[in-house]
Structure 1
Amino acid sequence: MTESYRHENYPEDMQAIIDADSYETVLDLFDAKVKQFADKPAFTCMGKTITYKDLDALSSDFAAYLQNETDLKPGDRIALQMPNIVQFPIAAWGALRAGLVVVNTNPLYTERELEHQMNDSGAKAMVVYAGMAAQALKVQPRTPVEKIIVTEIADLHPPLKRALVNTVVKRVKKMVPDFDASKTVPFRTALRQGQNFSYRPVRTGHDDPIVLQYTGGTTGVAKGAMLTNRNLIANMLQCYEYFKLALKDGEETLITPLPLYHIYAFTVHCMVLMYTGNQSVLIPNPRDIPGFVKELSKHRFTGFVGLNTLFVALCNNDDFKKLDFSGLKLTISGGMALTHAAADTWKDVTGCLINEGYGMTESSPVLSFNPPGHAQLGTIGVPAPSTEVKVINDDGVAQPIGEPGELCARGPQVMKGYWNRPQDTAKTIDEDGWLKTGDVAVLQEDGYLKIVDRKKDMIVVSGFNVYPNEIEDVLVGHPKIVECAAVGVPSEKTGEAVKVFIVTNDEVSDEDLIAYCREHLTAYKVPRQFERRDELPKTNVGKVLRRELRTEQA
């Protein structure tokens, strides 16, 4: 039995300990890297590329605008509500340079969700994509928001292309509802006004929150995780120890389909890749698979950051299979469990293995990852450098190697706490700094971790624990199953029974599926109920919402 575990047996080029104090703030890091990689491409979107030098200048202009043309003071919160466009990193770094706290906000929020987040965070300003401006203005009177800055999708493109793209998006595609522009400030105007002033550097503390990252809100009320300079610097350095095994500084191009407002993409693309001087190709709408594939064809990309549902969707596209993958060196998976079927198909199509990691908003987010060249499919890799882990039972007792229990972690990437919610913080992080993840995991003898399932998703059949991930991993191996989700439903006979919602590419009978499952699962795990769906409910980052499916069965 072990109280806690800290991995030591990393590949020889990885360090077991990172120095979270090597930079006092993320701005110290930013200043150093935009100079070091000044002429390297930083972000590309829809044919527009900005270098690190451009990012420095444009974010400085935006910071100067915030400091001189608004009433915002250091420590005030500013919400960013944009898809993956070049304006996002400019606004984020501009806000941080002005000493503000960034509140990453989902562009697909409903009015209710947006109102809650603005009130909970106390945001005084918003930077929004024009398609969300009407909703932001509608919600504004019920929130502390005083200023709304609006950007159109092609704002940074040359004049002719800017006018064409913005007009098509608004008039032809009808993607921008009408709004009262007199009550907003155009992003281009803000940048232009900022050029009239000198940006004044602002110092924040090493342990000061600089990002409020709201949890998905799929359970209870969405809470803002306070991520500090130290948290983000630590996780950036931890990720770098893994990534450097496959990627070189200043030479790589990574595809960025996952939203930058999500902590997974924010840390990888706005922190780690900046640290390494690499390029992110931003995909504003990854759900448009044909458009996504067309954009991919324009780049010789060397890295890809995604999740299970996206890998499946791409590999089902014939044009994707025709792309040149000769440069692809690293594929990163996170955000949801990676199935064997998706991993195998991606490898067959692209020739590149998928390296799966694990984390959560509260840990900035990465807690573990499969080192490139040393990946174990079906695991979430080894704990990040300078990270301790343990698995505990319901009584809080640490479990032996190989026994399942709730995964707990402690390290410099663990959040300061939830914004204005000390009681929720105390339930999630104990007095000794251990973060309770809510996930059931097994620690293997070799130090690799395996997630068995979410604690709350576990199904109990006749007293036996059944984990949905295992059922789903088996079923997606069936040639006629595209994706699926397993949930527990009430059963008079067994307490709970397993029901699976499936999306298929051809007709298949329940009997065939049961027979297939019997080949791979013990009897009490075999589902007997199946429901066909055209699609499964998902969060905006692609996680299947098992909770929503369970609620339908109540």
Structure 2
Amino acid sequence: MQPNWIKQRAYLTPNRVAISFHDQQWTFNELYLQSVSLAYKLNTLHLTNGKRVAILAPSTPPLIELLYACMQAQCEMVLLNGRLAKQELAYQIADAEVDAILVADEELAKLPDDARIIPFSKLYRTTESEYDIAAQWDDDFALTIMYTSGTTGFPKGVCQTVVNHSSSAISSALNLGISEDDAWLCTVPIFHISGFSIVVRSLLYGMKIRLYEKFDAKKCSQEIINGTVTKMSVVAVILENLLSEMESIGQKAHPRFSTILAGGGPVPIDYLKRAAQLNLHVAQTYGMTETASQTATLANEDAFTHIGSAGKPLFFNEIKIAAKKDESIGEILIRGPHVTPRYIGQFKEKPTTIDGWLHTGDVGYLDEDGYLYVVDRRSDLIISGGENIYPAEIENVLLAHPKIKEAGVCGIAHDIWGQVPAAFIVVKESMTAQDVIEFCEQNLANYKVPKYVHFIASLPRSGSNKLLRRHLMKLLDE
């Protein structure tokens, strides 16, 4: 059992600032009182004690207030990605078998019609029904459910429990350190594990979140330069934007700013060198949705002695490599209290671990000092601007087109986004690249839409007729 984080934090540091957004700010006690009121409204709607709710909203204070309220009401929260296509959102809602869909009014158009939809405006108008809010939470309660695509192209609903989240937050604190003056600059989406983990850290550490709905290079750079924030989470493309902005105005990070936590794929060495010139301390990290954020993190002091490494596992975590005999490179396996215990929906019967170890599907190795090096973020995974894109998911959409016979997708290097998807297509009938792109735009989030389309006579396949995606790039040279 753990204490109700929201109630406990409001008791310990009621007047400390919890969230700052534009020119407004809220203390932990203010958010606690607002969350109690909303929890009473959820109770009126019979959404308490294990009910499952999907949530779709931008990363603004009303979303965090609602997250607090759902935690108070002990609802399982399915966090929806507003960048997904309507069809993709519909799949996740159906797979999760939610009891209600709580939606910010401005996001309603993104969802198909559904009787379970409750706009925020309706929730706010609901009368309150008081009840005894739990003072303690079960460790195994699924606080959040986030969807992450599997190698089959079908998204998996990953349960992240109270103990998953708290273990992750505590491990991060032991690694990065905490201070009562900390302020985490949050520009990553709250619906991602990177964003929600900041909300958890805020509650457990008593730490302020400086919240941005969207990343703004100029404003965020000024926050770092002025020392109004101390930490920030980024992906490589965001880091590069910060570097370019700070370099253009000839300014360096304030001494109060301590760490940039960089995930979503390796950080280019050139970025690390540029960051060092600006007094920006970058900690590279490796994690996934199934591990409630970080599993390993490379300390800034090791950034140049172990270039390319994702660091060592955090305090409670273990990593080992499942490699063939006499080989050092193999699949990365993870064990620890931060690892999800279960999936939901169509994958609910799939075990998350084998003999206690999560098989990540990623390939890497540990050097003699125990530092992790990720060779490939899953053999076919495309990482574009920090977003994971699975080729099979795009292929499934392409193959639904009546004029497409076969399709293969791989990642192509891109100066800004790291990688972008490219489609290789065998057609049944004549069509144009624009036809392909428009069809994908109707069924996929924008970042998943292929940026390049190539029409070919046949796809490279193995003897067992399995598509060899790693050979697709070679076709461009023929």
TM-score normalised by L of structure 2: 0.75
Q: 2:332 aligns with which of 407, 410, 414?
A: 407
1:431-463 deviations in Å (ceiling 9; x for gaps): x111011111111111111111123139xxxxx
Q: Secondary structure at the match of 1:62?
A: helix
| Aligned equivalents of 2:195, 2:360: Cα separation in 1 | 20
- One-letter amino acid matched to 1:149: P
Q: Secondary structure at the match of 2:113?
A: helix
Report which of the two has the higher share of strand: 2
Check conservation: 1:63, 1:199, Cα contact below 8 A: no
Residue in 1 aligned with 2:366? 443
> Shift in Å at residue 412 of structure 1?
0.9
Residue in 2 aligned with 1:369? 297
Q: Does 1:325 align with 2:247?
A: no
Q: 2:345 aligns with which of 415, 420, 437?
A: 420
| Aligned equivalents of 1:47, 1:115: Cα separation in 2 | 36
Name structure 2 gaps, 5 residues minimum.
392-409, 417-440, 455-468
Check conservation: 2:226, 2:254, Cα contact below 8 A: no
| Aligned equivalents of 2:449, 2:283: Cα separation in 1 | 20
Residue in 1 aligned with 2:26? 50
| Aligned equivalents of 2:11, 2:77: Cα separation in 1 | 23
Q: 1:114 aligns with which of 74, 80, 89?
A: 89
Matches within 5 A, 1:101-500: 101-136=76-111, 139-141=112-114, 146-150=116-120, 185=122, 187=124, 189-190=125-126, 193-194=127-128, 197=130, 200-201=133-134, 204-216=137-149, 220-244=153-177, 247-248=178-179, 250-267=180-197, 269-286=198-215, 288-290=216-218, 292-293=220-221, 300-317=228-245, 321-322=250-251, 325-349=254-278, 351-371=279-299, 373-375=301-303, 376-393=306-323, 397=324, 403-422=328-347, 425-426=350-351, 428-430=352-354, 432-457=355-380
1:76-101 deviations in Å (ceiling 9; x for gaps): 11122122211222111210111210
> Shift in Å at residue 228 of structure 1?
1.4
> Shift in Å at residue 316 of structure 1?
2.1
Counting matched residue pairs gives 407
| Aligned equivalents of 2:267, 2:153: Cα separation in 1 | 25
> Shift in Å at residue 340 of structure 1?
0.9
Name structure 1 gaps, 5 residues minimum.
1-23, 151-183, 459-467, 473-484, 488-497, 505-536
Check conservation: 2:20, 2:26, Cα contact below 8 A: yes
> Shift in Å at residue 186 of structure 1?
5.4
Residue in 1 aligned with 2:419? none
> Shift in Å at residue 414 of structure 1?
0.8
| Aligned equivalents of 1:450, 1:38: Cα separation in 2 | 42
Residue in 2 aligned with 1:162? none
Change in Cα spacing, 1:420 to 1:118, as seen in structure 2 (3 Å) is closer
Matches within 5 A, 1:502-513: 502-503=414-415
> Shift in Å at residue 65 of structure 1?
0.9
- One-letter amino acid matched to 1:115: A
| Aligned equivalents of 1:540, 1:306: Cα separation in 2 | 21
Q: Secondary structure at the match of 1:332?
A: strand
- One-letter amino acid matched to 1:338: V
Check conservation: 2:4, 2:134, Cα contact below 8 A: no
- One-letter amino acid matched to 2:166: I
| Aligned equivalents of 2:212, 2:252: Cα separation in 1 | 17
TM-score normalised by L of structure 1: 0.66
> Shift in Å at residue 63 of structure 1?
0.8
- One-letter amino acid matched to 2:14: A
> Shift in Å at residue 423 of structure 1?
6.9
| Aligned equivalents of 2:62, 2:82: Cα separation in 1 | 14
> Shift in Å at residue 386 of structure 1?
2.4
| Aligned equivalents of 1:130, 1:236: Cα separation in 2 | 32
1:325-379 deviations in Å (ceiling 9; x for gaps): 3321111111222111122222223x02201111110111221112454554421
Check conservation: 1:380, 1:451, Cα contact below 8 A: yes
Q: Secondary structure at the match of 1:425?
A: coil
Check conservation: 1:263, 1:361, Cα contact below 8 A: yes
> Shift in Å at residue 289 of structure 1?
3.5
| Aligned equivalents of 1:253, 1:39: Cα separation in 2 | 15
| Aligned equivalents of 2:245, 2:25: Cα separation in 1 | 27
| Aligned equivalents of 2:123, 2:316: Cα separation in 1 | 44
> Shift in Å at residue 74 of structure 1?
1.7
Residue in 2 aligned with 1:481? none
> Shift in Å at residue 57 of structure 1?
0.9
| Aligned equivalents of 2:336, 2:170: Cα separation in 1 | 12
- One-letter amino acid matched to 2:30: D
Residue in 2 aligned with 1:494? none
Check conservation: 2:56, 2:103, Cα contact below 8 A: yes
Q: Does 1:77 align with 2:52?
A: yes
Check conservation: 1:235, 1:365, Cα contact below 8 A: yes
Check conservation: 1:312, 1:342, Cα contact below 8 A: yes
| Aligned equivalents of 1:543, 1:299: Cα separation in 2 | 36
Check conservation: 1:392, 1:399, Cα contact below 8 A: no
Residue in 1 aligned with 2:10? 34
Matches within 5 A, 1:524-535: none
| Aligned equivalents of 2:316, 2:260: Cα separation in 1 | 24
Check conservation: 1:231, 1:413, Cα contact below 8 A: yes
1:20-72 deviations in Å (ceiling 9; x for gaps): xxxx13x533322222121111111122211111121111111111012x032
Change in Cα spacing, 1:389 to 1:503, as seen in structure 2 (3 Å) is closer
Q: Secondary structure at the match of 1:223?
A: strand
RMSD between aligned residues:
3.5
- One-letter amino acid matched to 1:275: L
Change in Cα spacing, 1:203 to 1:146, as seen in structure 2 (3 Å) is farther
| Aligned equivalents of 2:169, 2:277: Cα separation in 1 | 31
Q: 2:66 aligns with which of 72, 78, 91?
A: 91
1:171-230 deviations in Å (ceiling 9; x for gaps): xxxxxxxxxxxxx6154x35xx44x73553276532232211111568611111011122
| Aligned equivalents of 1:320, 1:438: Cα separation in 2 | 42
Check conservation: 2:41, 2:123, Cα contact below 8 A: no
| Aligned equivalents of 1:324, 1:542: Cα separation in 2 | 31
| Aligned equivalents of 1:388, 1:281: Cα separation in 2 | 32
| Aligned equivalents of 1:438, 1:545: Cα separation in 2 | 24
